[in-house]
Structure 1
């Protein structure tokens, strides 16, 4: 909830009781941090956590990644201020900390959010899916983890407004043929490819579009993950191309680290 109070020339902007996750933290001084938060109602926000690095700070054990928090923050400037001041942060319960490979996978999600979402742009559905995806990363089922990642990438691209309608051939505006094969292009959309050129099956694209629509509700995410599990080998390169286009970079830091660990 956001509130405003007039005072002189400045406008006090305060948000209280907001659900949030820490995406990244930066040292600001010997005793303080700047945090990049993903909040449910206000999107990505930057806050200063004053004194959070001090040994006896109540904030120090709370401001950890992948832990759901309830925060309050404020600024002395207008609502569009770039950096706010964190007032309180409390653990909201939930899954334990990620570890091992799940930790790197979680940071991959965080890097996507930080690089693709603008500040102060609310994405409440995406926030709910992020919260629901984190526990899956610890399941120990590699195919399940990969399906969860692909489902989150689909929801992210759809929420950003850059994912074409999967069940429609963008060129002809006709429904994709169930027996056809299609590629996903950042600019051209869903395009049929010749036999032998790979791509995603038209039947799968139709099913995925229905699952995406159902995933507008958090309980529908499991269905989307199950659909993604059916096409992992084809879906991963297709979505990687879309993400790279919108990121403007071929390799993410977390993905590069995962590749290096796998090769070592």
Structure 2
């Protein structure tokens, strides 16, 4: 990425959301490596002859050029190129990708650079396109996003007392407090400790998917993180989850189960 005056050149990015701006143009919400979430106008993007039409797709790695002062709320897209690397995720993996995008829209403020989080997002999308199990990647990204925003409590200590967790005891993650001891629900102290240790690694994304992979794949962790995501996003439901739930309802009884819920 290089900056030329008020123009940004060759910035790694993904389209997170888009909507119509006029009969021929689009407003894009993009997640970029060095500038965070940025809003761009793609003038003429809906015209049949526009070079943008085949490029501005969600969950595809892009390189973008845009112009406009940093303090402008909406800047102007100048060029967009597909960076290559993988095809568009399909089926359940596509819904999982939409879940990632919804998290970014609801939880990540604009113009807040998060290079490490961008790299984790890119790894998650690549894994979805390769057909790898979505659930561990979604949970890992949720943990990293919550931590990046300062909303993830210390996963190695009990809230209030600040005592180290007892490995065999179970704890619930409470949004306004942190980890609280609970009988029969939540995760064990050992499981929370594995997550805390992985998050403290030099490469937390890789550490989570190797050292804490079993915890990430558990439905129990999903149940612990979902209320925290709802609490900080200000919504009671995430729509990508609703789409997957509806897809499950419409499947015939003989169809294979959809196990990797967002």
Please confirm whether the aligned pair reaches a TM-score higher than 0.5, indicating the same fold: yes
Is the counterpart of residue 53 in structure 1 residue 40 in structure 2? no
Pick closer, same or farther for the CA change 1:98–1:221 going to 2, 3 Å: same
Pick closer, same or farther for the CA change 1:4–1:97 going to 2, 3 Å: closer
Q: Within 5 A, what are the aligned runs for 1:148-163?
A: 148-163=137-152
Contact 2:67 2:78 in 1 (8 A): yes
Partner of 1:119: helix, strand, or coil? coil
Count of residue pairs the alignment pairs up: 250
Q: Within 5 A, what are the aligned runs for 1:1-264?
A: 1=1, 3=3, 5=5, 13-75=6-68, 78-140=69-131, 144-193=133-182, 195-196=183-184, 198-214=185-201, 216=203, 219-223=206-210, 226-229=213-216, 232-264=218-250
Deviates more, 1:250-259 or 1:118-127: 250-259
**Structure 1 outlier segments of 4+, above 6 Å:** none
**CA offsets 1:189-221 (integer angstroms, 9 cap, x no match):** 11111x33x111001111111111226455435
Partner of 1:128: helix, strand, or coil? helix
**Cα displacement (A) at 1:116:** 0.6
What's 2:255 paired with? none
State the TM-score, normalized to the length of structure 2: 0.90
- Unaligned ranges ≥5, structure 2: 251-262
Q: Matches of 2:231 and 2:21 in 1, distance apart?
A: 32
State the TM-score, normalized to the length of structure 1: 0.89
Q: Supply the RMSD in Å over aligned alpha carbons.
A: 1.8
Partner of 2:72: helix, strand, or coil? coil
Contact 1:21 1:68 in 2 (8 A): yes
